[in-house]
Amino acid sequence: MKDNKEKPKRWDLTDMLDIGRRLFKKIHKRKHSTNHNHEIHFLAREINDWLPKGINSMIDGSYSPRHLKRYYFADEMVDQLHPSDRIFQHVLLKQLKSTFKHIMNPNCYHFVWSYWCEICNTTY
């Protein structure tokens, strides 16, 4: 007799790589006209090195994001993630959203527990 219960989703390296490549393609398409020394062009040339290594480090639990870049303006300060960290965090979000599909509103992007979300009107 077979058990019809769904097994918990495991880390799927090929799916995660595909998600990361698609997001990078979108980012690179928007930034393709930037200066030739921009970091996005370096990342594009070396995507087959840093993307699999980063996703493998997320899977084995050793992922550590780079430092934020901080930009100062006259009226505000902006912290910005490195593009590779944006991609890794997006991949992680995709994995977590499928795991918590049954308790999260599709329009909600909050993963802070014990938090009231105004978008989906629920407490986490």
- Give the pLDDT confidence score for residue 52 in this predicted structure: 96
Domain that holds residue 59: 13-123
Q: How far are the Cα atoms of 34, 35, 44, 58, 115 from residue 109, in angstroms, in the given order?
A: 30, 33, 28, 20, 12
- The β-bridge relationship of strands 77-80 and 116-117 is unpaired
Q: Give a yes or no: residue 3 inside a domain.
A: no
As for how many domains the chain has, the answer is 1
What length does the chain have?
124
**Per residue of the chain (124 residues), what is the pLDDT tens digit?**
445 455 555 788 899 999 999 999 999 999 889 898 889 999 999 999 999 999 999 999 899 998 889 999 999 999 988 999 999 999 988 888 776 655 656 666 555 444 445 555 554 4
Task: Determine, yes or no, domain membership for 4.
Answer: no
Is residue 66 a part of any domain in this protein? yes
Can you give the pLDDT at residue 116? 47
Question: Is residue 6 assigned to a domain?
Answer: no
What pTM was estimated for this model as a whole? Answer: 0.70
- Given this model, what pLDDT does residue 120 score? 53
pLDDT at 109: 57
Q: Report yes or no on 2 lying in a domain.
A: no
Given a contact cutoff of 8 angstroms between Cβ atoms, the answer to whether 90 and 65 are in contact is: no
Does residue 1 lie in a domain region? Answer: no
